Copies of this chain bind each other. A is one copy, B any other.
Amino acid sequence: MIQKLIDKIRQTSAPICVGLDPMLDYIPEQIRKRSFAELGETLAGAADAVWHFNKEIIDCTCDLIPAVKPQIAMYEQFGLEGLKVYEKTVRYCQEKGLIVIGDAKRGDIGSTSAAYAAAHLGKVKVGNQYCSAFDTDFLTVNPYLGTDGVKPFVDVCGAEDKGIFVLVKTSNPSSGEFQDRLIDGRPLYELVADKVAEWGSACMDGVYSNVGAVVGATYPQMSVKLRAQMPHTFFLVPGYGAQGATAQDLRHCFDAEGSGAIVNSSRGIIAAYRQDKYSKFGAEHFGEASRQAVIDMVADINSVL
């Protein structure tokens, strides 16, 4: 699966993914009004607005990008109605040829992680049938429980040609609170990185492994070391744009050939129409604003590669 992502990145010359993390606030009033008029100010109304918002952004950007990264929490907050739209969004993106990275940060003890892996990447056996549920291409995974909590995801990557990105160093302000603490002179996230590389060695797909890592762009000096430490691990890089990181900050997440990483932007793309820079599009043409923001982001990232 990672090779498929790398190929799509080459085809589009765009090492980026669009974070489909639709806060209701981001959705232009005309869409919200229409959905609320039809379905009320309810979870169903909110989910309907999210769907129409997503569809427009996908339609306006899908020819330019290799992948999207829907954040499942933004759907889960609207309950079953929201999760219906999560599934619909995943299917619609895949129909458009996009690779879908489900950002769910799941992780638990072994038997439970196996259920999450089946839910999001694999299949579940029902009687004599094998059924798929959310069926994304990649999933983000939390490593706090150690090997037996991650292994079931790795196994599904091997069996179904899917991929995962394991949290190594996250982009948020307090990520260092535990992740940066020194153990035998090395930060915890480097120990996690060692394990990610080890788990991934059983799951290679070309130069890179189907087991990737989440490495936040907001801590550039750390990504330099991690890139060297994990030469076969593909990076999913959050933190660009709205979270503060610049293209220069994330340059070292890439390898010498300019591969090895995909950079996410959520708010900076999907709520572009609200920025001064793109205000000329207006809320009516928010999809076009997102398209222009993608073009600008791709040029910005490529300028440092």
Contact = CB atoms under 8 A, between A and B. Distances in A.
A8 interface: no
Nearest to A113: B73
B145 A170 contact: yes
Contacts of A134: 79
Interface residues of A, number: 73
A228 interface: no
Given A32-B127, A41-B127, A142 B107 contact: yes
Interface string A69-82: 00101101111101
A278 to B, nearest CB: 21
Contacts of A21: 112
Given A107-B105, A146-B179, A179-B144, A42 B126 contact: yes
A133 B175 contact: no
A110 B32 contact: no
Contacts of A84: 80
A182 interface: yes
A83 to B, nearest CB: 6
Contact of A131 (B46, B143, B182): B46
Given A78-B133, A80-B84, A144-B178, A171 B71 contact: no
Nearest to A33: B127
B118 A77 contact: yes
A268 to B, nearest CB: 14
The interface centre, meaning the residue of A77, A87, A118 with most chain B CB atoms within 10 A of its CB, is: A77
A174 B148 CA distance: 6
A42 B142 contact: no
Interface string A261-283: 00000000000000000000000
Contacts of A23: 111, 115
Contact of A24 (B125, B143, B171, B178): B125
Given A42-B126, A115-B74, A178 B149 contact: no
Interface string A6-30: 0000000000000001011000000
Given A43-B126, A145-B167, 8 more contacts: A45-B127, A73-B112, A73-B115, A76-B115, A76-B116, A76-B120, A79-B133, A105-B108
